[in-house]
Structure 1
Amino acid sequence: MPITIKMPITLKSYLNIQFDKPDMYLVSILNDKYVPWEFCMRMLMEVFHKNLEDAQAIAHEIVTNGEGFCGGYMLEIAETKAEFVETQAKKEGFTLTCLVEEV
């Protein structure tokens, strides 16, 4: 009968790779006092994927306080979402703008 010797095995990582967390950017919609509630709701739900309750709360902030926080994203995503909303607003005759700022 063969003899089996069990030895502890230590696996050592030879690659010490560290990944930096990507910088996050906040996207806010700024109200120009002419943007209708419906447009804000549509953008919040379609572009920022907010549910009805969250979209209503954010739209209320946009309409009453002039600014509503929509979410935090990596730079490229934040810029893309902001650009889409501004382009859509311009197509529909509104001067709404988005603010993208680093956290």
Structure 2
Amino acid sequence: METNIATKQKEKIKVKKPKLYKVIMYNDDYTTMEFVIEILMVIFNKNQIEAEKIMLDVHKKGKGLAGIYSYDIAMTKVTTAMSLAKENGFPFKLTVEEA
């Protein structure tokens, strides 16, 4: 008695991790420190201490790192933050760059 045994070949699928992107905040002479801290806590999920440290980097060094995310998340956070800034009359600037 003959049996036909089929063997399956396993294909190795390589899944690339998505590239990560930095969200950079820039200092200006109009956006308040309180607003920057609020944005960092509400949109970027930072605690009070982290938010104050990043805000001070922005204030003293001219820019600060708000976080590192996948592209879509980074762009959503930037768009949301800049919309809130515009609604509040601030010229707040953020950019996204490859990490």
For normalisation by structure 2, the TM-score amounts to 0.87
Give the distance between the partners of 2:14 and 2:47, measured in 1 at CA: 35
Runs of 4+ in 1 over 6 A off after TM superposition: none
Matched, 1:90 2:82: no
Amino acid at match of 2:86: K
| In structure 2, C-alpha distance between the alignment counterparts of 1:55 and 1:73, rounded to whole Å | 17
Paired residues for 1:48-59 under 5 Å: 48-59=44-55
User: Percent identity at matched positions?
Assistant: 36
The alpha-carbon deviation at position 65 of structure 1 amounts to: 1.7
Post-superposition Cα deviations, 1:7-65, rounded to whole Å, max 9, x if no partner, equal xxxxx971311100101000011122211111001000011001111111001111222
Is the counterpart of residue 67 in structure 1 residue 74 in structure 2? no
Contact kept, 8 Å, 1:31 with 1:96, in 2: the verdict is yes
Mark the runs of 5 or more structure 2 residues left unpaired by the alignment.
1-7
Higher-Rg member (1/2): 1
d(CA) in 1 for partners of 2:38, 2:14: 40
Q: TM-score, structure 1 length as denominator?
A: 0.84
Residue matched to 1:79: 75
Q: Are the aligned partners of 1:23 and 1:102 in contact in 2 as well (CA < 8 Å)?
A: yes
Change (3 A) 1:59 1:19: same
How many residues get paired? 92
Q: What is the root-mean-square deviation in Å for CA atoms of aligned residues?
A: 1.4
- Segments of structure 1 that go 5 or more residues without pairing to the other structure are 1-11
Opposite residue 23 of structure 2, the aligned amino acid is V
What SS does the aligned partner of 2:83 have? helix
